[in-house]
Structure 1
Amino acid sequence: MILLMHTSSTVSRTASSRALLIMGIVFIASCLRAPITVLGPLLDPIRTAAGLGVAQAGMLTTLPLLAFAVVSPWAATMSNKYGLERMLFWALAVLLAGILVRSAGPTWALFGGTCLMGGSIAVANVLLPSLLKRDFPHDTARLTAYYALAMILAAGVMSTVVVPFHELMVGNWRLSLASVAVLPLIAMVSWWPQLYAGAVLPPQPAVPIARGTVWRSMLAWQVAAYLGLTCFIHFAAIAWLPAILLGAGFSPAQAGVQHGWMQLAGIVPALALGPLLRRLPDQRWLAFVSPALSAVALLGFMVLPRWATGWSFAFGVGMGSALILSLAFVGLRAPSQQVAASLSGMAQCVGYLLAAVGPTLFGALQEATGSWSTPLGTCVALCAVMCALGLRIGRKGHVQQ
């Protein structure tokens, strides 16, 4: 057994310091997707300028997910040793360094900086749910929805402006990639006061927690599976939706619009789930309906692809809801901050391993069968598994119980 200290900040924080803390959380959340998604619109000019093959370019998009899987299980241990506030600040600092290294120019820097970015984002991904569990134990789900909204908006805005900025910089992809560094810079400034606030918070009595508890818990594995399947389906769709629509007769411009529409649809659950989760006794029906809606959309792409606008929106709402719920379940199913950090690390390790293989497996199924129906049908079946998992993990309960 090990003794872990649970810090209670909800008692000692004033209203102004809590507002400052929430602002810092939002700015950190804005850094967790944009540095990765901003690469997509610039991938072709980077490939041309750096002389990368298709496989190498694909690895640039896969490396962050692999880094998430490798680093996530260690984030809780580092947090216990150095503290949440300090680890989040240093994660931002390493993220900033990774963005600058990635933009330095040489091919090795492109890949090395991407790995640094992925590792630092993984730490923040794991520790934010733990922070919410500690400082806002009765408002975890609502704030999770709001920081998911910050992630979606920042990623969407940066992906939208990076191409015009690239043209303004006369095709200098290094400066274009470096532009996203403004996000961790702002986040570091907003988070700086928390380095001192966290040092004066009073501890509560130690809570004994067995080593490896979450890895031996069936509920923890169910939470991890729900997040993992969400990531698998979501990233596979993001990677291949344009190709599916091109095969259905859409133009490249139309396919691109549908791709963006699908991602923007994630804003709807981010806005709606915050107040809704506070009023629900449990989350079973939401955890069931979200993948069910995604399954209907996937079937729609198979049967009536000309209605792609509706299916793209439905899929974006369904998978966006499932992703927010997956993150919220980390806090809702953990009895303490430390268990939340361990559960978050475990769930994201499993989740992003599946996310890393999702696009590759999806494409391999299409290549083997010559049709998009097989990979789409496989994802529909996985949505059905998620529906069953949602009915289980949506009930009230804790990993320790």
Structure 2
Amino acid sequence: MLPRRSLVFIFLMVIVGLNLRPALSSLAPLLSRLQENAGLSAFGAGALTTLPVLCLGLAAPLAPWLAHRLGSERALSLALLLLAGGLLLRGVPSPLFLFLGTALAGGAIGIGGTLLPALVKRELPVGADLVTGLYTMALCFGGALGAGLSIPLTEALGGWRAGLMSWALLALLALGLWQGLMPRQSTTQLAQINQKMLGPLLKKPLTWQVMFFMGMQSSMAYIVFGWLPTLLIYRGYGEAEAGWTMAISIMCQLASALGAPWLARLGRDQRPALMVVMGCTALGLWLLLMAPIEWRWPGAALLGLGQGGSFSLALTLLVLRTANSRLAGQLSGLVQGGGYTLASLGPLGVGLMLQQGASLAHIVWLLMILIGASSAFALLAGRNHRLDDATGELMTHRD
């Protein structure tokens, strides 16, 4: 039986995780409406889907610094407050505030998402990979809520501005619970910054392998978050039907987000599990975008299983490839910062391709190339290597 502190932390981790995807997934079903009502071009819509991912990547390296200055717990509180503020700004009647609010929300997600894996490593060092799967499941469920409820909330509240703003209530709820129940560290702060260690981390091939895998698979995820409903509408889907198809795909991520870390424990390393989830992603996208529409439900399910599993394993690698919570925090900041900055190019690229008249087949080939690149880095990052600085010098050990 886990101690009460650990159970409270897991509950709070799930509540916070629910908030780290609706800001992204709630936009996608509304893109065609925003292009009509807010005057966005295809490039503007692509920029709007790219902006939160770019800001996520740029803000992620700030998380260890904020944890050092404020403490990890207060830094996460700040991230939730910024997230709520950004979500409220998106409803102000001006395209400028739509972009500013989206950027602020993306930055807040980058800080919160970087802090949580290191907090997991600190609070639950034994079984951190499995707890990371539970956290990823919460992320996926939040993403599904954002995609599935976006159109219904817009209709119920009388417009897309109120629908987008309503997600701030969930962030404020999480902030209140975190402030009231958060575990408090009485000893040293998590992720004290050791500037001398950042350089050696960047010199380790393992850091770059994990970073590029994170970036490539995240690029796939944010293309789906940003553009899948639009691509399905091109195929003849209704607006709400496209949103729910994406929501069902994200709901299927729940099973693989929780199950992938268990699957990864069955082999000597994580490479077989990584190849399984990448294969599911490729087949799911092909069925959704190229096969007859009758295959949409198997395609949505496979895509969800693949993407939930690949993201869960990417986060799991952050705790499996480091020997302690401080290294996990620093690796998390570097990997998520660089990876999400790289990932932001994917949604923007799709927007540019659509503006230039690219067909669905061209988009699918781009996605397949990204999956191939992700798989190559997965084979490197999935080996049982670990970064350790117990001797005072950063070393890469083979387990």
Evaluate the alpha carbon distance shift between residue 18 and residue 45 of structure 1 in structure 2; reply closer, same or farther with a 3 A threshold: same
1:174 aligns with 2:169: no
| TM alignment of 1:298-337, pairs within 5 A | 298-300=285-287, 304-306=291-293, 307-337=295-325
Q: Aligned letter for 1:105?
A: P
| Residue 269 of structure 1, CA deviation | 0.2
1:200 aligns with 2:197: no
1:252 aligns with 2:238: yes
> Contact between 2:88 and 2:165, CA under 8 Å: does it hold in 1?
yes
| Residue 319 of structure 1, CA deviation | 1.8
Name the SS of the counterpart of 1:126 in structure 2.
Answer: helix
Q: Aligned letter for 2:12?
A: G
Distance (Å, rounded) in 2 between the aligned partners of 1:126 and 1:310: 33
> Contact between 2:207 and 2:331, CA under 8 Å: does it hold in 1?
yes
1:270 equivalent among 247, 257, 262: 257
Distance (Å, rounded) in 2 between the aligned partners of 1:392 and 1:132: 24
Distance (Å, rounded) in 1 between the aligned partners of 2:292 and 2:128: 38
1:39 aligns with 2:39: no
Distance (Å, rounded) in 2 between the aligned partners of 1:397 and 1:89: 33
The root-mean-square deviation of aligned C-alpha atoms, in Å, is 3.0
> Contact between 1:141 and 1:277, CA under 8 Å: does it hold in 2?
no
Evaluate the alpha carbon distance shift between residue 207 and residue 225 of structure 1 in structure 2; reply closer, same or farther with a 3 A threshold: closer
| Residue 300 of structure 1, CA deviation | 4.5
Q: Residue in 2 aligned with 1:220?
A: 207
| Residue 76 of structure 1, CA deviation | 1.6
Q: Residue in 1 aligned with 2:16?
A: 28
Name the SS of the counterpart of 1:99 in structure 2.
Answer: helix
Q: Aligned letter for 2:269?
A: D
Distance (Å, rounded) in 2 between the aligned partners of 1:207 and 1:108: 35
Distance (Å, rounded) in 2 between the aligned partners of 1:80 and 1:56: 37
| Residue 218 of structure 1, CA deviation | 0.4
Distance (Å, rounded) in 2 between the aligned partners of 1:309 and 1:185: 35
Count of residue correspondences: 384
Cα-to-partner distance string for 1:143-171 (whole Å, 9 max, x where unaligned): 111111112212322433343333333x2
Q: Aligned letter for 1:308?
A: R
> Contact between 1:282 and 1:395, CA under 8 Å: does it hold in 2?
yes
Q: Residue in 2 aligned with 1:83?
A: 71
Q: Residue in 2 aligned with 1:10?
A: none
| Residue 28 of structure 1, CA deviation | 1.0
Name the SS of the counterpart of 1:398 in structure 2.
Answer: strand
Identical pairs, percent? 29
1:287 aligns with 2:274: yes
1:143 aligns with 2:112: no
Cα-to-partner distance string for 1:109-152 (whole Å, 9 max, x where unaligned): 32222222111111001111111111112222111111111122
Distance (Å, rounded) in 1 between the aligned partners of 2:64 and 2:267: 29
Q: Residue in 1 aligned with 2:5?
A: 17
> Contact between 2:271 and 2:382, CA under 8 Å: does it hold in 1?
yes
TM-score, normalization by structure 1: 0.84
> Contact between 1:133 and 1:340, CA under 8 Å: does it hold in 2?
yes
1:114 aligns with 2:82: no
Q: Aligned letter for 1:312?
A: A
Name the SS of the counterpart of 1:211 in structure 2.
Answer: helix
| Residue 383 of structure 1, CA deviation | 2.3
Q: Aligned letter for 2:61?
A: P
What stretches of structure 1 of length at least 5 have no aligned partner? Answer: 1-13
> Contact between 1:85 and 1:194, CA under 8 Å: does it hold in 2?
no
1:357 aligns with 2:310: no
Name the SS of the counterpart of 1:334 in structure 2.
Answer: coil
Cα-to-partner distance string for 1:49-93 (whole Å, 9 max, x where unaligned): 545444434433221111112111222222223221111111111
Distance (Å, rounded) in 2 between the aligned partners of 1:101 and 1:203: 32
Q: Residue in 1 aligned with 2:222?
A: 235
Distance (Å, rounded) in 1 between the aligned partners of 2:368 and 2:161: 40
1:159 aligns with 2:147: yes
Distance (Å, rounded) in 2 between the aligned partners of 1:276 and 1:53: 43
Name the SS of the counterpart of 1:231 in structure 2.
Answer: helix
Name the SS of the counterpart of 1:192 in structure 2.
Answer: helix
Distance (Å, rounded) in 2 between the aligned partners of 1:44 and 1:166: 13
Distance (Å, rounded) in 2 between the aligned partners of 1:257 and 1:107: 26
Q: Aligned letter for 2:270?
A: Q
Distance (Å, rounded) in 1 between the aligned partners of 2:349 and 2:42: 16
Evaluate the alpha carbon distance shift between residue 156 and residue 92 of structure 1 in structure 2; reply closer, same or farther with a 3 A threshold: same
Q: Aligned letter for 2:44?
A: Q
> Contact between 2:233 and 2:242, CA under 8 Å: does it hold in 1?
yes
Cα-to-partner distance string for 1:252-308 (whole Å, 9 max, x where unaligned): 366555433322221220232354455654322101221122233345467634433
TM-score, normalization by structure 2: 0.85
Cα-to-partner distance string for 1:370-400 (whole Å, 9 max, x where unaligned): 5433442343233233333323322222134
Q: Aligned letter for 1:230?
A: Q
Distance (Å, rounded) in 1 between the aligned partners of 2:353 and 2:40: 25
